[in-house]
A and B are shown apart, each in its own frame.
Chain A
Amino acid sequence: MKPASFDYVRAESVEHAVQTLSGADGDGKIIAGGQSLMPMMNFRLVKPSVLVDINRIAGLDRIELRGDRMALGALVRHRMTAEDALIAEHIPVLHHAMKHVAHLTVRNRGTFCGSVCHADPAAEVPMMSLLLNGSIHIVSERGKRVLSAGDFFVGSLMTALEPDELVTEIEVDRLPAGTGWAFEEFARRHGDYALAAVAITMERQNGVATNVRIGLMGVGETPTRMPQLEAMLEGSEVTERTLEEVVDALRSAIEPNSDLNASADYRRYLAGTLTRRALSDAWLRARDMQS
């Protein structure tokens, strides 16, 4: 199908973009890469009256290391995130996860911030922003605010972003040197949305795991962290027995949906298997990085 009619505004600055959004009476939409928005407009699931194109705004395409945080601007394409040397060095788990984001052609256009705003519960980028304690920098004519990724994701394809607000950048943690990590995903076809995926980071000190993070996607209405499992592992040695305990706890904690692609039981089982694999990989990687 074709999109319904709309007015098109090429924003010249962030101020121009939010001014236009504000004037659209809640019916404006920002377009950056358009890789999620355009399909929805083609299906007429989304029919904005004003489309605000931010692609020509200068300075939004930067990836910057700021102390222990990495900032990604609103026009950072998936390809740039995937190929960035700073990200590969300081956040290898994100570098690796980007290989699973759709296909190369889609990565040429799609953006990091746009994927977070789309908030698909089975997409990699929202889950990675949650895993890495992302903070979402938001601007509107009413002012600026910053939300944590945890507060930003409200439901499937739903966020705390108001219709007059624009996300200008997202900051995520860089990982301390020596951090072990793993990313495991299963999708029926390469590049499809995942049936389930897990990302893990952990450090290893004096033979035990610390600063453990577990992020999951595809198993609920939003991407999710698993604080209770992270706490189980904190200060423990990772052994076959710990893995079993964590995987059992995970399978009872999550409530995945059933759909055309997989039943809830299958997803629950899969999430456990991927988590066991990822935990063991992250643990071994943390050891290898110490030596």
Chain B
Amino acid sequence: MTGRIEITVSVNGLSYTRSVEPRMLLSDFLRHELGFTGTHVGCEHGVCGACTILLDGRSARSCLTLAAQVDGASIETVEGLGSVENLGRVQQAFRDHHGLQCGFCTPGFLMTITDMLRHHPLESEAEIREALSGNICRCTGYEHICNAVRELAKERGALK
């Protein structure tokens, strides 16, 4: 009960075991303990969306989740989407449509969009904009991000 807690968690398909302080945020755990620095920390109170990861297949704010809570869970981060040499489909769409400038918010957007493409219809422009409304970008003005998502949703077709 007191002191550190041992957790085992799968990140992008690989299993990791670490002992953590109960107050360690999942965002800090991913960055400082495991070195997945693709997960960015912006506001640290759930507003900006930069730290969004997938927790058991659904998007979640890693700054509002404790590492202690994810023992046994499966996490996906931006590092799991692709690599510099071999961009994932969502990453490629961002590149094609200039969906980023400074790139700070981008990992959060990519993870949110991955969840939305898996689970939400994204049939209308309004739905696409609502799906993105929990992530803040201060560079792009969002238009190019919406263009990328529109293409991805069209390519995916109707949700199965």
- Asked whether any CB of chain B lies closer than 8 Å to the CB of A34, the reply is yes
- For A77, give the chain B residue with the smallest CB separation: B58
A43 to B25, CA, bound (A): 13
Binds B, one of A58-66, A102-110, A176-184, A282-290: A102-110
Write out, one digit per residue, whether chain A residues 90-115 have a CB within 8 A of any chain B CB (1) or not (0): 00000000010011111011000000
Determine which of A2, A31, A191 lies in contact with B25 in the assembled complex, contact meaning CB atoms within 8 Å: A2
- Asked whether any CB of chain A lies closer than 8 Å to the CB of B61, the reply is yes
B46-79 interface with A by 8 A CB criterion:
46, 49, 52, 55, 58-61, 63-66, 68-69, 71
- Asked whether any CB of chain B lies closer than 8 Å to the CB of A162, the reply is no
Determine which of B25, B44, B61, B133 lies in contact with A109 in the assembled complex, contact meaning CB atoms within 8 Å: B61
Write out, one digit per residue, whether chain A residues 1-41 have a CB within 8 A of any chain B CB (1) or not (0): 11111111110000000000000000000010011001100
CB distance from A261 to the nearest CB of B (A): 15
Contact between B2 and A34, CB atoms less than 8 A apart: no
Contact between B22 and A6, CB atoms less than 8 A apart: yes
Determine which of A9, A31, A38, A106 lies in contact with B134 in the assembled complex, contact meaning CB atoms within 8 Å: A106
Write out, one digit per residue, whether chain B residues 1-40 have a CB within 8 A of any chain A CB (1) or not (0): 1100100000000000000011101001000000000000
Please name all residues of chain B whose beta carbon is closer than 8 Å to the beta carbon of A1 when the two chains form the complex.
Answer: 44
Contact between A106 and B46, CB atoms less than 8 A apart: yes
Q: Which of A9, A31, A103, A109 has the most CB of B within 10 A?
A: A103
> Given contacts A34-B64, A38-B46, are A104 and B59 in contact (CB under 8 A)?
yes
- Size of the B side of the interface (Cβ < 8 Å), in residues, is 34
- For B45, give the chain A residue with the smallest CB separation: A39
Contact between A42 and B63, CB atoms less than 8 A apart: yes
- Asked whether any CB of chain B lies closer than 8 Å to the CB of A51, the reply is yes
Please name all residues of chain A whose beta carbon is closer than 8 Å to the beta carbon of B23 when the two chains form the complex.
Answer: 2-6
Contact between B45 and A103, CB atoms less than 8 A apart: no
A160 to B5, CA, bound (A): 33
Please name all residues of chain B whose beta carbon is closer than 8 Å to the beta carbon of A281 when the two chains form the complex.
Answer: none
A105 to B60, CA, bound (A): 5
A and B contact pairs by CB, cutoff 8 A, 27 listed: A2-B25, A2-B28, A5-B23, A7-B2, A7-B22, A8-B1, A8-B66, A10-B68, A34-B66, A35-B46, A38-B64, A39-B46, A39-B64, A42-B44, A51-B22, A55-B69, A102-B134, A104-B115, A104-B120, A104-B130, A104-B131, A105-B61, A105-B112, A106-B46, A106-B61, A109-B65, A191-B133
List 6 tightest A-B contacts by C-beta distance, closest first: A103-B134, A8-B22, A39-B45, A38-B64, A105-B59, A3-B23
Q: B interface vs A, CB < 8 Å?
A: 1-2, 5, 21-23, 25, 28, 44-46, 49, 52, 55, 58-61, 63-66, 68-69, 71, 112, 115-116, 120, 129-131, 133-134
